[in-house]
Amino acid sequence: MKLTICLSITLLLMVAPLAMSIGPEEFLDGLVVYHAYDEGKGDKAEDLSGNKHEGVIDNPKWVDGKFGKALEFGGPGSDVFVTVESTAKLNVDEFSFMAWINSEEWGGVRQVVGKSVHGGCGGRVQYGVFSEGGVFKIRLETEAGRNDIATDLPETGEFVHIAFTNDTKKTKIFYDGKEVMEGDTPGKLKANDDPWRIGQDCERLNYVFSGIIDEVRLWNRALSEDEINTFMEQGVDALSVEAAGKLSTTWGRLKAGR
């Protein structure tokens, strides 16, 4: 019995540092936007990063999400999307984007996130994540030219976690924490003053996403695969609020308003 207890304690001591090696400090490192979409009502999306990148939701439809609540987007012509006004921080170069999505269909162009990659508003700049021509892609509009990095479409009718990282040399696509595609980053991403949009690209109402989007996050650094696998399984309540600092403060305000 004593031997069993000793072995259990030894195993716990070995595993605990690994489990705790990626925590709230890493989550907050370089976090630019965090929309949990847990409000469940209203037309504002709180930014839990502390950077005041609140979103204005046009024609919101609140539904159950992967964690808590989420937003449902009605596809082309539905006019459902989230707009975040541009800031210097939103004009990223090195970055990571992730979200949980549950797509109804992938017919045509269905935009998950974008900052004017389809020629609307200020033109073709920054990056966008969308379906097109039977594939799912991230488009990079750089000072050295464009590159589309594409892979198979995510499954429909179920939640799939998508993540994209760009370390300024390579861009990677992850589904449910596993890398599925890698491509070259041609150069530095272009910057502009156009809004950052979820579910649509600027002035492209025919490109609206069809389905549910939840837990939208943007960092100004390339996350590791271990970080992606850790963060994708964490909603706000899964994070240690004591250690999360500004995240817990913002989340406290959000819950108090319910």
In this prediction, residue 246 carries a pLDDT of: 54
Q: Over 70: is that where the pLDDT of 187 sits?
A: yes
Mean pLDDT for 152-181 is 98
Q: Where are the domains of the chain?
A: 22-256
- DSSP secondary structure of 50-80: SS---EEEES--EEE-SSSEEEEEE-TTS--
Task: Indicate the pTM of the whole model.
Answer: 0.85
Q: Over 50: is that where the pLDDT of 4 sits?
A: no
Banded model confidence at residue 205, pLDDT cuts 50, 70, 90 = confident
Question: Which is it for strands 210-219 and 31-35: parallel, antiparallel or unpaired?
Answer: antiparallel
What is the chain's mean pLDDT, rounded? 85
The torsion angles phi and psi of 208, rounded to 5 degrees, stand at -65, 140
Q: Which of 40-49, 134-143, 154-163, 241-250 has the lowest mean pLDDT?
A: 241-250
**Largest Cα–Cα distance of the chain, in whole Å?**
70
In this prediction, residue 238 carries a pLDDT of: 55
Structure tokens at 217: 């996050």
Residue 168, sorted as left (phi over 0), alpha (psi -120 to 50) or beta, turns out to be left
Q: Which of 147, 232, 224, 215 is nearest to 184 (CA)?
A: 147
pLDDT tens, residue by residue, 11-47: 333 433 444 578 888 999 999 999 999 999 999 999 9
For the domain made up of 22-256, give the CATH fold: Jelly Rolls (2.60.120)
